[in-house]
Structure 1
């Protein structure tokens, strides 16, 4: 940020460095190993008095001199030129920190030049003794040059104690110096043999030529053990966090590692051609291929080494965009552009936002990314993301996958960068049809408090059954609502009736054919492992049928009902109404009839970040475009092939890998649960932590197409975070429950919730939820600003939807309704759509029997309140009903 930026948008400076550096390093290692090769081979020719070997050395020197001194020297200068342009600050640090070392290295380099020229031009006139001395001087100077440069290069990866002392020796003799020297020395010796093949194969066919080829092969095999041992030594000398980040999280490293491993195998396999009796032509072809493989080998190694120090250019000291780690906090607070010396823009305004974003891209992104260029194209990388998606990516950059540096700057600067990157894309499809709920009143079933003998209470166990509705591509929530019911025989001592009783259910007209509106049934075999009949749920039940009786809980239950919010008449209503009838099996007499809502939502607003539009008539569901964008991101981040499989007609349930209690999936061991993965990942990326974040995935938005939070809590202003916590708090709780998964720790390490992580209690998703009684202590009025977050139920028995009142007979949900729809509910699709049963049995939308309306079940007023103490007082939020 203190130097001008070299604006290469198509072929960035990092790519140019890689091209020049790999070629130079390839030759530079030969310059060291080849010097040792010349000295020892010349020594061998003298001791054995082998004239042919001496002539080979003479021939090899000219090739060696041209390649190392001419090509190597030019590319060496090229490296200095290119790094000074691309990363001038880091280059300056290296020069000033190791000025003494560079001076020594130049002395050694000068000795190399002089000794090699003498060795070449005086080869025939010098005595054997003096010639070998000159050869040794060159070999020693070349290796010492390697020793000096290795100390500086390894410093960039592992500066060690230098970060605290800034002492030359601490920086030079850093943790990877010694393993680096041993490894590179072994590489030099190996390359000496590899390049020896080049001059050897050009010789005429003879016994000497065959011996020479086998001699060169020995140079490749001799250092193999040192390569392997020092390679592991080098790897484990790297800081553990760097190993984790760059050898596990960074997918690009895997490509370099694969190149390194494959080329290693090929080098040693191809070398066998020169050991065995083969034709001269084959050997010449093989040596050409071998040199290319050797180039790929050193390229793979150098890329691995470069990747290993990301997100830094000098590990722990300077980030790759040339920002000091010590400046990060100040720049985040005061602004990055303010201190960018060469930027004409110092502050982001509405007028200059796009230009400011371009400046930020040049300063923070251009060192690694291009714009429609050959490597790390930012347009391709952000393909399938909206402006909010790009903003989220920038916000989360460097947190989970910290091989990328974090964005440094203020929120306004972050938004400006997102604006600029978004402007590089063509106009995206990211619109939804404006939706306004149409109120549809429900006829309230009749009830005669004097004559009727039974009260039938029925409900949906969830306040909103959510469905992914992208079954062609993936699914994590398939159609399948769960209903429950109890039949109460009225009397002074009411009884729950189950013997000789059947309870039937039937959906309202227009919702009977969900398979017309969803592809779930087409892909059910791939998703659920079995082919389902159309309009039938995974339990075999359809849109009409009979409840099963649950003896253990003493309730009637119907699970897996495949209801959707789409109607055959083209209308969207996420609150279809079911009719329930209690029938005496022996006589066929209808004992009581009621209605209840089966809330169901396909409103997942993934398109807000992942582009696209709602699937069903622009109103709801996940479109093909959005779904494919999501799968591309998952595949890129996790190395999966979900999109490829989906294109072949084989979509999968996310819970195939990720355990999830709600769909009864055990997942794969050591994978995070589905809830931990989803919340943990997005908490690191979504720039909001309040209800806005919740509304991106859950159907809670007051302007959305579902408007799930419709009960008395929402009416008086109690939002999601009061019970479930902010996004980062919620994510932390479920991540803390994951034992033995490395990714949970990765997702946790950058979360900074308002409630310290050390104080957050782990929570098993769907099993441990906020406890109602943590706010309503003793069933009384909650204290002001009390929160239910971090006060979890112990197990499923304590969940609101499973809990029973004090007598352990009537489920709480039977009288108070489903979560997020607690009576009185305020449904914009119909005033009493969620209040049918209280209106039916007592003429008010309040909880069943509230305000001492005991006669609903008891037929008479009761003096006490055996169910719970709160029944004795009047409903306190009557103003909300007005």
Structure 2
């Protein structure tokens, strides 16, 4: 997997994956985790209270979950395909570490997909029967097991924990932020499902023709709003737990130390606190227009306010995801794998060698090579096909960490050579051959 990196215009490689994840996670992962649970609870409430509105809500929610499983699977395929193509070495490493959990994930997905389908299409015949609700819980178990597994890989990328020393899968999976992160995602599942069902209620109101249909729309709006309101408000507690676990898990993981200062008083503060403010605003809109006074929410202005609340909560999801992913930069796995897919141990010279070092195979860093006249054209090839472009861009093409346009005006050739050999924290040293170093220096110093 040493082919040249694939470049993604405008968005960049990380940006493309982030976009797919934004479409996949709230619309598929969170909703499919929350929907079966709420559907079964609603069916049980319908049986217990005799209120048919719970049954109608549960049936429609099961239908939406069934459709979402089919459509949302494409998002998962998209994430796998883009990671293989854009970050092949990282994907191979991650798949190697989490091989057996990922095999289990296949079974979990089949369990949730088949369970949701059976639950939905046996509704009319078996509703309120214990066996039918058990099928719903089995589907929910599959969805939550799937989220449980994937959360292990996602949280590992920020807090690899003891795996760095032990290389044991159990330490990679149950890393320092695993449980807080999963709890955070679990509560988010109910929040997102509640907000999406608010849209469902507005849609039902828009197509209602009889008084009974209008009454049901008003009832479902209040019911969905309660799920959205309570779950979103409860996010505060796992959020604090997650933040403290990230503080502990990243403090000693890399030379840069904890990533929390980036969130609370750094480059990501706007997105972190912005997401919290947007979520709080969404809660207020839901409380006044859905829970307290759903009749007001079904009026045209109320419609706009509730649609805005859903957009705000999706934006919050995007902001929080962005801060989590961006905070670990310049690493793909914090303190373990750089953004250019190079292992930190390799760059430190700690990787096991295939053969004892000799005069001909001893690796060198850029500041250990002798200065010489390089070929700028050959240096451009080194930049284009090597690891540089994974993080750096020229003319908007390449990585998003730092643009190198005009670097020759800002730094001398000797300064560039020193920087390649002894880079700042977070940037791996360039370990190419002396000829490649000279060619790369000639190319970069000529960018004026």
- TM-score of the superposed pair, with normalisation by structure 2: 0.81
- Residue of structure 2 equivalent to 1:51: 52
- Residue of structure 2 equivalent to 1:221: 229
* Helix, strand or coil at the partner of 2:243: helix
- How far off its partner does 1:274 sit? 1.7
- Residue of structure 1 equivalent to 2:387: 364
For residue 406 of structure 1, the aligned residue among 416, 423, 428 is 428
- How far off its partner does 1:112 sit? 0.7
Task: Decide whether the 8 Å contact of 1:320 with 1:367 is kept in 2.
Answer: yes
- Residue of structure 2 equivalent to 1:265: 280
For residue 388 of structure 1, the aligned residue among 405, 411, 417 is 411
Residues 391-432 of structure 1 show CA distances to partners (whole Å, capped at 9, x for unaligned) of: 858966999974x43343368756654554555x5x5xxxxx
Instruction: Return the structure number with greater helix share.
Output: 2
Q: Which ranges of structure 2 fall in alignment gaps of 5 or more residues?
A: 209-213, 252-256, 351-361
- Residue of structure 2 equivalent to 1:105: 105
- TM-score of the superposed pair, with normalisation by structure 1: 0.43
- Residue of structure 2 equivalent to 1:231: 239
Paired with 1:48 and 1:2, the residues of 2 have a C-alpha distance of 62
Q: How does 1:163-178 map to 2 (within 5 A)?
A: 163-178=164-179
Change (3 A) 1:269 1:225: closer
Aligned CA RMSD, in angstroms, stands at: 3.3
Residues 221-265 of structure 1 show CA distances to partners (whole Å, capped at 9, x for unaligned) of: 3234542122122122122313256437862x2343244223222
- How far off its partner does 1:387 sit? 4.9
Q: Does 1:210 align with 2:249?
A: no
* Helix, strand or coil at the partner of 1:263: helix
- How far off its partner does 1:383 sit? 5.6
- Residue of structure 2 equivalent to 1:738: none
- How far off its partner does 1:296 sit? 1.5
- How far off its partner does 1:76 sit? 0.7
For residue 254 of structure 1, the aligned residue among 246, 254, 269 is 269
Paired with 2:63 and 2:417, the residues of 1 have a C-alpha distance of 53
Residues 188-215 of structure 1 show CA distances to partners (whole Å, capped at 9, x for unaligned) of: 1111111111211122373433232222
Task: Decide whether the 8 Å contact of 1:86 with 1:367 is kept in 2.
Answer: no
Task: Decide whether the 8 Å contact of 2:379 with 2:441 is kept in 1.
Answer: no
* Helix, strand or coil at the partner of 2:157: helix
- Residue of structure 2 equivalent to 1:334: 363
* Helix, strand or coil at the partner of 1:52: helix
Change (3 A) 1:268 1:384: farther
* Helix, strand or coil at the partner of 2:394: coil
Change (3 A) 1:84 1:377: closer
Task: Decide whether the 8 Å contact of 1:158 with 1:174 is kept in 2.
Answer: yes
Q: How does 1:798-837 map to 2 (within 5 A)?
A: none
Task: Decide whether the 8 Å contact of 2:190 with 2:227 is kept in 1.
Answer: yes
Paired with 2:218 and 2:332, the residues of 1 have a C-alpha distance of 47
* Helix, strand or coil at the partner of 1:242: coil
Change (3 A) 1:88 1:374: closer
Change (3 A) 1:233 1:52: closer
Paired with 1:136 and 1:327, the residues of 2 have a C-alpha distance of 46
- How far off its partner does 1:63 sit? 2.6
- Residue of structure 2 equivalent to 1:517: none
- How far off its partner does 1:119 sit? 1.7
- How far off its partner does 1:355 sit? 2.9
Residues 292-345 of structure 1 show CA distances to partners (whole Å, capped at 9, x for unaligned) of: 3222111111111112322221222211101111111349x82479xxxxxxxx
* Helix, strand or coil at the partner of 1:323: coil
Paired with 1:199 and 1:14, the residues of 2 have a C-alpha distance of 33
Q: How does 1:241-390 map to 2 (within 5 A)?
A: 241-243=257-259, 246-247=262-263, 251=267, 253-272=268-287, 273-275=289-291, 276=293, 277-278=295-296, 279-330=298-349, 334-335=363-364, 350-360=373-383, 362-373=385-396, 382=405, 386-388=409-411
* Helix, strand or coil at the partner of 2:332: strand
- Residue of structure 2 equivalent to 1:139: 140
Q: Does 1:117 align with 2:105?
A: no
Residues 474-529 of structure 1 show CA distances to partners (whole Å, capped at 9, x for unaligned) of: xxxxxxxxxxxxxxxxxxxxxxxxxxxxxxxxxxxxxxxxxxxxxxxxxxxxxxxx
Q: Which ranges of structure 1 fall in alignment gaps of 5 or more residues?
A: 338-346, 428-882
Residues 517-549 of structure 1 show CA distances to partners (whole Å, capped at 9, x for unaligned) of: xxxxxxxxxxxxxxxxxxxxxxxxxxxxxxxxx
Q: How does 1:585-664 map to 2 (within 5 A)?
A: none
- How far off its partner does 1:16 sit? 0.9
Task: Decide whether the 8 Å contact of 1:319 with 1:325 is kept in 2.
Answer: yes
Q: How does 1:660-671 map to 2 (within 5 A)?
A: none
Residues 114-173 of structure 1 show CA distances to partners (whole Å, capped at 9, x for unaligned) of: 011112222112242222122111112111111111112111211111111111111111
Instruction: Return the structure number with greater strand share.
Output: 1
Residues 63-90 of structure 1 show CA distances to partners (whole Å, capped at 9, x for unaligned) of: 3322x21331001100000011111111
* Helix, strand or coil at the partner of 2:396: coil
Q: How does 1:431-446 map to 2 (within 5 A)?
A: none
Change (3 A) 1:94 1:113: same
Paired with 1:413 and 1:287, the residues of 2 have a C-alpha distance of 58
Paired with 1:233 and 1:78, the residues of 2 have a C-alpha distance of 31
Paired with 1:378 and 1:422, the residues of 2 have a C-alpha distance of 19
Residues 626-680 of structure 1 show CA distances to partners (whole Å, capped at 9, x for unaligned) of: xxxxxxxxxxxxxxxxxxxxxxxxxxxxxxxxxxxxxxxxxxxxxxxxxxxxxxx
* Helix, strand or coil at the partner of 2:259: helix
Paired with 1:379 and 1:302, the residues of 2 have a C-alpha distance of 21
* Helix, strand or coil at the partner of 1:124: helix
Residues 580-614 of structure 1 show CA distances to partners (whole Å, capped at 9, x for unaligned) of: xxxxxxxxxxxxxxxxxxxxxxxxxxxxxxxxxxx
Q: How many residues align?
A: 413
Change (3 A) 1:222 1:249: closer
* Helix, strand or coil at the partner of 1:313: strand
Task: Decide whether the 8 Å contact of 1:249 with 1:401 is kept in 2.
Answer: no
Q: How does 1:477-626 map to 2 (within 5 A)?
A: none
